[in-house]
Amino acid sequence: MRVVVDYDLCESNAICMQIAPDVFEVRDDDFLYVLDENPGDDRRAAMEESVQRCPKQAISLED
């Protein structure tokens, strides 16, 4: 599973960081950094929730 963020859409609401801090981090510069672009399958539920709850629909998953 690959995590893809559309940075043209992302506005750093940081909801993904709260759901999966091991994968997403919004830093003090207010930008989102993806810490792990290929999280294991045990993180699938958290990734799907991040996709759902991103207010800008900026996250997608590729298998």
Partner 1 sequence: MPQGRERITIVGASLAGYWAAETLRRDGFEGAISLIGDEAHEPYDRPPLSKKYLAGDVERDRVDLGNAEKLAALDLDLRLGQRATGLDVAARTLEVDRVAEPFDGLIIATGARCRTLPGTDGVAGVHTLRTVDDADAVRTAMDAGARRMVVVGAGFIGAEVASTAVGRGLAVTMVEALEAPFGRVLGVEMGAVLADVHRSHGVDLRTGVGVDEVLTGPDGGVGTRVVGVRLADGSEVACDLLVAGIGVIPNVDWLEGSGLEVADGVVCDETCLAAPGVVAAGDVARWTNARYGESMRVEHWDNAVQQGVHAARRLLQSDEEAQPFTPVPWFWSDQYDRKVQLAGRTHPDAEVRVVTGSVDEHRFVTYYGLGGRFLGALGMNRPRHVMQSKGLLEQDASWDEALAFAADWD
Q: State the Cα–Cα distance between residues 19 and 5, nearest whole angstrom.
A: 15
Q: State the Cα–Cα distance between residues 45 and 30, nearest whole angstrom.
A: 25
Q: Rule CB under 8 A: is residue 7 a binding residue for partner 1?
A: no
The closest alpha carbon to 24, from 39, 45, 41, 9, belongs to 39
Given the complex with partner 1, which of 3 and 16 has the nearer CB atom? 16
| Smallest separation, CB 38 to partner 1 (Å) | 21
The site that binds partner 1 (CB under 8 A) totals a number of residues, namely: 16
> Where on the chain is the footprint of partner 1 (CB under 8 A)?
11-15, 17-18, 26-28, 30, 48, 52-53, 55, 57
